Structure 1
């Protein structure tokens, strides 16, 4: 490893809202650098927003109720075994056995259609009205789910480009599934002896 290589890389995964900086990992970078340890933060959330467009990212990260886990569902096909609420998702990394999106989306349709209708007149409603409506968002989320395994593999290659010794994830705001899927792919590519993976954050 060269002296210019990053030794510790922190990851901010989707779907943290793009306007909310991750102060914890930024502070850790400063602390590590004072100790002579080269560290950086990879804002995959901002990178991903630019990739899929502001409308869809905003819809998943901010315009839908967090308890419906729409952002988590987007990365479920690229995830390890997970338990979300009362639904157990079958074991399948990159999985065809992941929960059926269409069935879940059917359950969400009444809630989200009513929510979008009523929030137009509330504070902040104007910005929400600029975002996608559920009918269009549903199809875009389905396409995103299908592409999520490729996205995670691409991220893993980017994170490993200068062979960091530690990769740390901060997880809040529907970042769990994307973070776990990416950590799983990193471990598949690099053994424990060469890479330490850590998880932190409010979740």
Structure 2
């Protein structure tokens, strides 16, 4: 059985008109929603480069909001996403940045907040054919494709943290496909991004979250 995911690369099923500007944008929004793990009360979206110039004509605005509402690329509700967000009490704010030169022309910054004070900010790029990369999460620079189950671990920057998390993955017989580390400064907060060959059971994530100096652990599924 073939599973269709928010990260399909070739020939994505989508609401048109453009895989880069529509399918890719929807996937950026949906990754933000997946990591945030709840419906936000406010969505702030900043478009850069080509997205800034053509987002209305290509439907990038409605696509990225549809993704935040957890709609897949082929969901017909995407065309009404702005109205649906309003009906559900989700405030949507769009901003255009014409001054900053982005790493890629199809770049968007998505900030999600809720009334409890929770906040997530990601920067995503749509690189063509519906494929995306997340290049920043809450100020941490990284490169997340989402093609594999991915574990995100926010922790204090202390000795032995990578070994501790790796030991838990070994306990559950999880093979690491790729691993990336980022930190704000020596001894401050750090982020582990671990792509795996197997799905990550909830018990594993809970065990990592219970470790000393772990601030949060979450999973982005393909």
TM-score by length of 1: 0.25
TM-score by length of 2: 0.24
